[in-house]
Every structure is written in structure tokens, then in C-alpha cells.
């Protein structure tokens, strides 16, 4: 018997045994991923006493670059050991955005926020876990809380500009699909960042990722 056929027979036999022991379950899939959010850049020449931008300059064509990534964190809700990874990350891409050209970014992992997803945890150590589609699972069905977020990192801010939020933003935006990335230009940067010399080299202000949570 060929190795592939032998493996199929073993797995089939295992499935039959597990059906008899109640080990087989039905798993439910995670959120759908057909959606996107927009990165919208704004350039401002002034700052008010509360450090908010004023004096918009909508005619400024300067492009900015953003690296967009996704993060999925997982918390198993079942009481038995699993090999489900606690976190998975990946890059969506590098995007160039200006006030003249907005960019739509696909939410490749689905809607942000918390979701309960069933994982099929297999009994064979070398198999690990499998992310299920709806339906049959030869293994334990383990409900898992998945938290999906999208992160934006500023890349190489041009000379003469600085971001409004060097440390990034962590906020929930309701009823919108737009992420506003605001930049100051010129003297306003010196007000926001004392000692600014025309370049934004991060230094102690090196940003965290911006966590985008758009429902």
C-alpha cells in the first residue's frame, strides 16, 4: 500500500473511532473579510493651544508613505491544552497617500474588534491545529476569542513635515471607514516638537503602530 493511501486509511479509522467517542464536532468559521478602510492625509500650517491642527493647506501635494499591517490575537476559551498560536501578524502593504490621492486598504482579516471563532484542535501532536470552515471537525472544537486590529506605521516622513501623533493612535471610530493621518508643516512642527530642525528623525518619539479599529 502506498504511503499516501496508508495515511488516508489511518485518518479514516481515527475519524470512525472519534465519532464513536463523541470527539467529532462542528466548527464555525470566523468573520468575513470583504471590507476596507480609507487613509486620508491632511496637512496643516498651525496648531491651537490644545495641540490640535489649524490652518489647513489642502493644496499641498506632498505624498506620505504608510506601512499597513494586521494583527490577530487569540484567547482559547476551552479548558484543554491547544497548539493555537496566541498571535499572528502580517503585512498588507506599503501605501503612498497625499491630499490629492486617498487610498483604500483591504481589511484582509475581516472586521476589526473581537470575534468568537471555533477552532478544530486535532489530537495528533504533529498536526497541530486547523482553522475551520463551517462544518465537520475531526477533533475537539475549541471556541476562541479573536481580536483583529490593523496597524499603520509612518515611513520616512519628508523633510519639513511632522506628524500630529508621533506615538500613534489607539482609538475606536464608530460609523466611519476613514483613518485621518494629519501632518504639520513648517513652523507648526517647531511648536509641537521644540528643537525641531526640519527633519523628523523620531528619536525618543519613535512611534508605536497606529491601531485602527473601524467597525
Give the burial class of 212: count Cβ atoms within 10 A of its Cβ; 0-12 exposed, 13-18 middle, 19 or more buried: buried
Three-state DSSP at 5 gives helix
The pLDDT assigned to 210 comes to 65
Give the pLDDT of residue 56.
97
Give the position of cell 471610530: 173
pLDDT higher than 60, residue 34? no
Rounded to 5°, angle at Cα 52 from 50 and 58: 155
Lowest mean pLDDT among 13-22, 110-119, 149-158: 13-22
Residue 201: how many other CB atoms lie within 10 Å: 9
Supply the pLDDT for residue 156. Answer: 85
Q: What percent of the chain has pLDDT over 70?
A: 66
Handedness of CA 56, 59, 63, 67 (dihedral sign): positive
pLDDT for 118-135, tens place per residue?
Answer: 888 876 655 566 666 566
- Residue 84's nearest CA partner among 129, 33, 145 is 129
Identify the bridge partners of residue 158 per DSSP, sorted by sequence position: none
Specify the pLDDT at position 141: 85
pLDDT tens digits for range 73-112? 999 998 877 888 899 999 999 999 999 999 999 999 988 8
Amino acid at each position: 500500500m502506498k504511503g499516501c493511501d496508508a495515511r488516508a486509511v489511518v485518518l479514516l479509522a481515527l475519524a470512525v473511532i472519534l465519532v464513536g467517542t463523541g470527539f467529532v464536532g462542528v466548527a464555525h468559521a470566523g468573520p468575513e473579510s470583504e471590507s476596507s478602510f480609507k487613509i486620508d492625509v491632511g496637512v496643516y500650517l498651525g496648531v491651537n493651544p490644545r495641540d490640535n491642527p489649524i490652518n489647513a493647506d489642502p493644496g499641498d501635494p506632498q505624498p506620505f508613505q504608510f506601512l499597513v499591517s494586521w494583527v490577530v490575537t487569540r484567547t482559547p476559551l476551552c479548558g484543554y491544552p491547544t497548539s493555537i498560536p496566541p498571535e499572528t501578524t502580517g503585512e498588507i502593504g506599503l501605501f503612498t497617500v497625499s491630499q490629492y490621492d486617498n487610498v483604500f486598504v483591504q481589511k484582509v482579516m475581516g472586521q476589526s474588534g473581537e470575534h468568537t471563532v471555533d477552532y478544530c484542535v486535532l489530537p495528533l501532536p504533529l498536526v497541530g491545529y486547523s482553522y475551520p470552515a463551517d462544518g465537520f471537525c475531526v477533533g475537539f472544537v475549541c471556541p476562541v476569542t479573536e481580536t483583529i486590529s490593523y496597524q499603520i506605521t509612518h515611513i520616512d516622513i519628508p523633510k519639513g513635515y511632522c506628524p500630529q501623533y508621533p506615538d500613534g493612535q489607539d482609538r475606536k471610530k464608530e460609523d466611519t471607514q476613514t483613518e485621518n493621518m494629519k501632518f504639520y508643516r513648517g513652523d507648526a512642527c517647531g511648536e509641537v516638537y521644540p528643537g525641531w530642525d526640519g527633519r523628523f528623525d523620531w528619536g525618543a518619539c519613535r512611534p508605536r503602530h497606529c491601531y485602527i479599529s473601524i467597525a
